[in-house]
Amino acid sequence: MVDRSFEFDVATSVREVSIVDGAHHFEARVHDGWDIAGNANGGYLLALVGRAISAVTSRPDCVTITAHYLAPCPAGPARVVVTPVRSGRRFATVTASLFRVDEDGKMKEVLRALATVGDLATDPGGPSAMQRSMPDISPFDECILMSGTSVNDFAHLHGRLATRGEPADIAFRSGSPSGRAMMRGWFDFADGRSVDSNALLLASDAFPPAVFNLSLPMGWVPTVELTVHVRAVPAPGPVACFFTSRFLQNGLLEEDGEMWDTKGVLVAQSRQLALAPRG
């Protein structure tokens, strides 16, 4: 059951209204305050869609989900449509679309997703052979709260979060980029909600772009595509996040993410393809 007292649960709530030709239609709302300068954060939108996917499949974990972003999305009424593709013992595969609904009822698709979902807590599992452990990051208390600073007052998303940034990686905000395309921090919610599997979809896109630490023009870095692999259910506490971009080439860049829980377990990987700011 959803605890309505947590902002993230309210902002990602969906209500099934019909099934048309096998497609499950949900009423939803893109909520205020999960945006960067008026456009809803891509990770938040993915988490909203993830809620509907879990409702249709009765499986909590997006083992792999890919979203292609089609248009910016301001706050307002929305619709999510989830269409089952295949349902197996271990995994189910679905497609999903998020539409914003204009005042005249016209729908515009803002995100198309493809996901294979499962239940990692009961997954049969298999061998492990980790080639490395969690990268270096300063302890939570030594990282810097991202919200409540005037340098960040367009990133309203951070008002909902208790996310902290590695000091060296967020010094770009005061004009001192590190020179390394890296962004590290701890993801957490401002209202104490625990970081579950669905929240990892938000975490994967909730930090400033790693390329802000290069000496490039600053500006919007629109996501073309975002893939998240949820690899384990997070233990309680904040989630350590590591983002790097290695290849900014001809205006296109990848950003790779790793998310680790407080027990040192890899809980998610992400990769997005994005467009570089043109200044």
Structure tokens at 236: 């309680």
Does residue 68 bind a second copy (CB under 8 A)? yes
Cα 74 from Cα 29, distance rounded (Å):
10
Nearer to a second copy, 116 or 152 (CB): 116
Does residue 250 bind a second copy (CB under 8 A)? yes
Nearer to a second copy, 43 or 152 (CB): 43
Report the residue from 12, 41, 57, 64 that binds a second copy according to the rule CB under 8 A: 64
- DSSP-derived secondary structure for 17-65: EEEETTEEEEEEEE-TTSEETTEE-HHHHHHHHHHHHHHHH---EEEEE
The stretch among 6-14, 26-34, 99-107, 222-230 that binds a second copy (CB under 8 A) is 222-230
Nearer to a second copy, 64 or 152 (CB): 64
Does residue 278 bind a second copy (CB under 8 A)? yes
Does residue 229 bind a second copy (CB under 8 A)? yes
User: What is the CA angle 164-169-172, rounded to 5?
Assistant: 110
Cα 94 from Cα 114, distance rounded (Å):
6
Cα 275 from Cα 220, distance rounded (Å):
8
The stretch among 46-54, 156-164, 195-203, 245-253 that binds a second copy (CB under 8 A) is 245-253
| DSSP-derived secondary structure letter, 262 | T
Structure tokens at 89: 């013992």
Q: How far is the CB of 264 from a second copy (least distance, A)?
A: 11
The stretch among 50-58, 130-138, 141-149, 196-204 that binds a second copy (CB under 8 A) is 130-138
Cα 45 from Cα 207, distance rounded (Å):
15
Chain positions 171 to 210 lying near a second copy, rule: CB under 8 A, are: 180-181
**Residue 230 CB partners (closer than 8 Å, separation 6+):** 61, 62, 63, 64, 65, 120, 197, 200, 201, 267, 268
Report the residue from 23, 70, 107, 190 that binds a second copy according to the rule CB under 8 A: 70
Cα 100 from Cα 81, distance rounded (Å):
12
Q: How far is the CB of 109 from a second copy (least distance, A)?
A: 7
Instruction: Write out the residues near a second copy by the rule CB under 8 A.
Output: 63-64, 66, 68, 70-71, 85-86, 91, 93, 95, 109, 112-114, 116, 120, 123-132, 180-181, 211, 214, 216-217, 224-225, 227, 229, 231-232, 244-252, 254, 265-266, 269, 271, 273, 275-276, 278
